[in-house]
Amino acid sequence: MKMAIKDLFGRPLTVVNVGLEGFAGAVRDQGVAVVDLDWKPPAAGVRPLYRTASGLDVEEANQEVLRRIKAARPVLVGMGIAKDVIPGMHEHMILHSGPPVTWERMCGPQRGAVMGALIYEGLAQDGREAEVLARSGEIEFAPCHHHHCVGPMAGVVSPRMPVFIIENKAFGNHAYCTQNEGLGKVLRYGAMGEEVYERLRWMETELYPILDRALACIPDGIDLKAMIAQALHMGDECHNRNRAGTSLFLRAIGPALARTNRDNEALARVIEFIDRNDHFFLNLSMPAGKAAVEPAEGVPGSSIVTVMARNGTDFGIRLASMPDRWFTAPAGKVEGLYFPSFSERDANPDIGDSTITETAGYGGFAMAAAPAITQFVGGSPSMAVETTLEMYEITASEHEGFTIPVLNFRGTPLGIDVRKVRQTGILPKINTGIAHREPGVGMVGAGILRAPEACFIQAFQALAAL
């Protein structure tokens, strides 16, 4: 009887060799393929950091950070209009994704989204007027993250946009996010045009009131932590695959939608809109992550990342120990799958606050739970598994609340430890949508990349000096 060394899936085993060549040779003799690992040695001079300059115990601080994140109970409790409910928001403010950025340095799709939002708000008649206004200084730009908010892609939140309100029941803090528009020619990818504004208007005047009324009759709200946990057992990773989450959300809100129904046809349109947009749940999984992580901010000495966000120009991170300080580097290039007629040349660099999902212990870090996502972002199912395994190397813990069935229900990698990133040379892996680099176009694909190392180098140095 013939036999070969096979992995769990019955495929010929490949062994990854990271050093000991003699051993690799012995394995090769057994007929096992051996490949080289794309592995970088630890950065020269990076020593284990147990205490900061002033003597803060990093490990102790991290345990407190992890305790808070794990204890989080993000619940969708209601909706409201951005200018009414987001702290600090006002009539002439526009929130955007990523670290702070001026109009001058804004990338194309973020500019497109800002101009589109100004037109949608009625503050400008067309793109030219919008650009003049945006450049004038009359509009205050601020990162979503400065307002307990997260926004996918361009991340634009304008005053009259409806937002979901998520309450972290364990700590009482809130987070906010707009409703997801779907894919293609949509504002968050920088698209402009009547089709975009009309959809936003419908989302404000029909989708929002109907969802809002339904939520108001669910006294306990919708438990997003439980929903994310379920979705991870249903092939989602809750960043670029949200088909299960979207389905579970519709199931959960369904009875309340029926009970508060005033117009069958309008209700049908709302269900249809959600049913046709498998990313609808992204705008709930993101603020759930934001609400979960924010209470961990402000723990002195912690080396754990609590914000990781991109504005399409810069990639920025913040640590739990320094929640007011951004460490930034140029946003990276996404390796991806493109829609027909688009290619890499059309792609804007990495953009969006959706990396809050990886920060909170799911998204790209839980890709092992979502092998089918590779049809959207590229790669292979085994790459998806390997991504999760690799992320355990740079995280401080595993999230007992979010488990991955195929890894024997192991908890997801939780809490990016800037020390581990420096020591291993492994950078956080992210999956993301890709926006066209020009304002006004929209989505052109989806893909995978790593966070830029420079952010982590700076953050590590700042931490050591604390």
* Residue ranges binding a second copy (CB under 8 A): 1, 3, 5-11, 13, 15-20, 23, 26-27, 30, 32, 230, 233-236, 243-244, 246-248, 250-252, 254-261, 264-265, 267-269, 271-272, 274-275, 368, 371-372, 374, 380-382, 385-386, 389, 405-409
Residue with Cβ nearer a second copy (375 or 461): 375
Nearer to a second copy, 314 or 390 (CB): 390
Q: Give the shortest CB-269-to-a second copy separation in angstroms.
A: 8
CB of 193 to a second copy, least distance (A): 26
Pick between residue 16 and residue 216 the one whose CB is nearest to a second copy.
16
Q: Which is nearer to a second copy, 63 or 382 (CB)?
A: 382
Q: How far apart are the first and last CA of the chain?
A: 64
Nearer CB in complex with a second copy: 164/392? 392
Q: How far is the CB of 433 from a second copy (least distance, A)?
A: 19
Q: Closest CB to a second copy among 18 and 465?
A: 18
Shortest Cβ distance from residue 105 to a second copy (Å)? 40
> What are the distances in angstroms from CA 348 to CA 110, 182, 326, 383?
10, 19, 22, 24
Q: Which is nearer to a second copy, 83 or 269 (CB)?
A: 269
The rounded distance, in Å, linking the Cα atoms of 447 and 216 is: 37
- Closest approach, Cβ 384 to a second copy, in A, equals 8
Quote the least distance from Cβ 40 to a second copy, whole Å. 13
Measured between alpha carbons, how far is 183 from 122 in angstroms, rounded to an integer?
24
Q: How far is the CB of 328 from a second copy (least distance, A)?
A: 33
Smallest distance from a second copy to CB 398, Å = 13
| Residues paired with residue 16 on neighbouring β-strands, in sequence order | 35
